[in-house]
Amino acid sequence: MKLVTYSVGTGVPEVGILEGDEIRPLGHETMIDFISYGGNPDPGEDVVSVGDARLHAPVPEPQKVICIGLNYEDHAEETGAPIPEKPIVFAKYPNTIIGHGESIVIPPITSQVDYEAELAVVIGKTARNVPESEALDHVYGYTNANDVSARDIQLGEGGQWTRGKAIDTFCPLGPYLVTGDEVPDPQALSIRCTLNGEVVQDGTTDKMIFSVAELVAFLSTGMTLVPGDVIITGTPPGVGMARDPQLWMKEGDEVTIEIEGLGALTNPVQAE
């Protein structure tokens, strides 16, 4: 099942099932509300054309956006960082989240803005001290994410990971949320980033150092995960800062994140 948060005209965002070029409304205003009440679809008879709708981020305002750094060995190697023994955790916030088609806006405080294709995991039921063997039972679904990063701030101000990554618009999500039953193995997905039509990242989630199940179990130790929480699971190699010459996103660019079975998330880039 593919779920979207959408709006029509000046209407408030609501949740629907995406079926081809049509959206069937589900009667919930937020994805968190829908998931919290069981996440079972009961669409009405109304149908909205995708062409008449604006797609928002599937989960526009999660309580938590938890990010994992250096979770692909070959990405860690390309940056010169040691392979982590435990997940490296940092945060983004709801101010960073935008949807498919919305602009990534580069503020004047940075000139080194990087792309990062990542698998995003959306929690479906409360998780606290969950064993790895049960962790995927707490996942509701998956979507594409772009962990946009201001490298000059992240690395040039004494290691300010959150400050360099929690800038407004720096977390595109979407275009839709795919339920877990359609993703039987989150560790067997191709993952790709394309910048202005050129493939700059091309990997597979089986290269993760810490699997989705391991991450959910690890994070739930000491931190209660609740429905709608988003976990962004790390990026494969090919990021702009590791290239020679380095490759930074700029005004006029277009970046697409595409993970197998999850559609394509495309965002233009503009200067503030």
Q: What digits encode the pLDDT tens for the residues 113-150?
A: 999 999 999 999 999 999 999 999 999 999 999 999 99
- Give the integer Cα–Cα distance in Å for 114 and 3: 28
Q: Label residue 40 by pLDDT band (50, 70, 90).
A: confident
* CA 101 to chain centroid: 14
Mean pLDDT of 160-171: 95
Q: Label residue 16 by pLDDT band (50, 70, 90).
A: very high
- Give the integer Cα–Cα distance in Å for 68 and 199: 23
Strand partners, 14: 6
Express each pLDDT in 57-101 by its tens digit. 999 999 999 999 999 988 888 888 889 999 999 999 999 999 999
Give me the pLDDT at residue 156, please.
86
In which residue are the tokens 């990242």 written? Answer: 201
Give me the pLDDT at residue 28, please.
83
Kindly report the pTM of this predicted structure.
0.96
Q: Is 114 exposed, middle or buried (0-12, 13-18, 19+ CB in 10 A)?
A: buried
- Give the integer Cα–Cα distance in Å for 38 and 51: 29
Give me the pLDDT at residue 7, please.
96
**Residue (of 26, 127, 15, 117) closest to 60 by Cα position:** 15
